[in-house]
Amino acid sequence: QITLQESGPTLVKPTQTLTLTCTFSGFSLKTSGEGVGWIRQPPGKALEWLALIYWDDDQHYSPSLKSRLTITKDTSKNQVVLTMTYMDPVDTATYYCAHTVTMIRGRVRYMDVWGKGTTVTVSS
Amino acid sequence: SYELTQPPSLSVSPGQTASITCSGDKLGEKYVSWYQQKPGQSPVVVIYQDTKRPSGIPERFSGSNSGNTATLTISGTQTVDEADYYCQTWDYTTVAFGGGTKLTVL
């Protein structure tokens, strides 16, 4: 059974850097094909994909946020970390991490198991 | 970046068929997944690879994808199906989500 749990600060100040950790179980990022992604959702708004990392350290980022995001993995701890620089009040959102399934030579990629999410507020 | 467009809302009566559309340029050449999100909960995938249902998802959920439009169909809609629905695809190097459709069952 795959589970994921997000952790990190609930409040950050504008211009600060946000660091979120996704701790998972039920799979290993040492295993070929495995991936973990981050998605956020501002209050009352739609899902927005942020970043994705694979077992082989292949990384993908949202084009609109790429300059602010870094995704890394620690296979020994079963964790994926997302950092986002220069936080702004518009970044206030619930941040989810999710196990990402990849099939058909990479043409199918979807999130089959999601964490419960962590709410981050950006305010001075 | 690749854009997916969904109608903001849809209302159906219990027992009716709900069809939620998702449009994008040559979307039929990509694979689409659909997520259901109820208030205060994390999204749940209900359709992946255009037409496949994960285990545990009721048979009344089905999907199709052709041309520029993918469709999530809920047959015999129940009140428990009231939720936000999001389509999603992979565009070469990035994930794209639609803007979501709020399905009201009343």
Q: Answer yes or no: is pLDDT of A110 > 90.
A: yes
How many Å is the Cα radius of gyration of chain B? Answer: 13
**A116: nearest Cα among A28, A24, A26, A17:** A24
Nearest chain B residue (CA) to A112: B45
Contacts of B5 in chain A (CB under 8 A): none
Q: Answer yes or no: is pLDDT of A105 > 90.
A: no
Average confidence (pLDDT) over A41-52: 98
Given CB atoms, is B55 within the 8 Å cutoff of chain A?
no
Given CB atoms, is B31 within the 8 Å cutoff of chain A?
yes
Q: How many angstroms separate the Cα of A120 from the Cα of each of A9, A22, A42?
A: 7, 14, 9
Least confident of A55-69, A78-92, A100-114: A100-114
CB B104 within 8 A of CB B82: yes
Model confidence at B70, pLDDT cuts 50, 70, 90, reads very high
DSSP A51: E
Contacts of A112 in chain B (CB under 8 A): 45, 48, 54
Q: What is the pLDDT of residue B67?
A: 97
Q: A9-12 long-range contacts, Cβ below 8 Å, gap at least 24?
A: A9/A120, A10/A118, A10/A119, A10/A120, A10/A121, A11/A120, A11/A121, A11/A122, A11/A123, A12/A87, A12/A120, A12/A121, A12/A122
- Summary mean pLDDT of chain B: 97
Given CB atoms, is B86 within the 8 Å cutoff of chain A?
yes
Model confidence pLDDT, tens digit, residues A56-82 = 999 999 999 999 999 999 999 999 999
Q: How many angstroms separate the Cα of A113 from the Cα of each of A24, A76, A86, A96?
A: 11, 21, 29, 10
Given CB atoms, is B42 within the 8 Å cutoff of chain A?
yes
Q: Answer yes or no: is pLDDT of B38 > 90.
A: yes
Determine, for residues B95 and A107 on separate chains, whether the beta-carbon distance falls below 8 Å.
Answer: no
Determine, for residues B99 and A46 on separate chains, whether the beta-carbon distance falls below 8 Å.
Answer: yes
* Percentage above 70 pLDDT, chain A: 100
Pick from B31, B48, B93: CB nearest A60: B93
- Summary mean pLDDT of chain A: 96
Average confidence (pLDDT) over A84-91: 98
Determine, for residues B43 and A52 on separate chains, whether the beta-carbon distance falls below 8 Å.
Answer: no
Pick from B45, B49, B94: CB nearest A63: B94
Q: What is the pLDDT of residue A108?
A: 86
Task: Quickly count helices (H) and strands (E) in chain A.
Answer: 0, 11
Model confidence at A107, pLDDT cuts 50, 70, 90, reads confident
Q: Answer yes or no: is pLDDT of A106 > 90.
A: no
Nearest chain B residue (CA) to A59: B93
Distance from CA of B13 to the nearest CA of A (A): 24
Determine, for residues A47 and B42 on separate chains, whether the beta-carbon distance falls below 8 Å.
Answer: no
Q: Tokens for B94?
A: 């990035």
Determine, for residues B94 and A62 on separate chains, whether the beta-carbon distance falls below 8 Å.
Answer: yes
Model confidence at A104, pLDDT cuts 50, 70, 90, reads confident
Residue B96 in 3-state DSSP?
strand
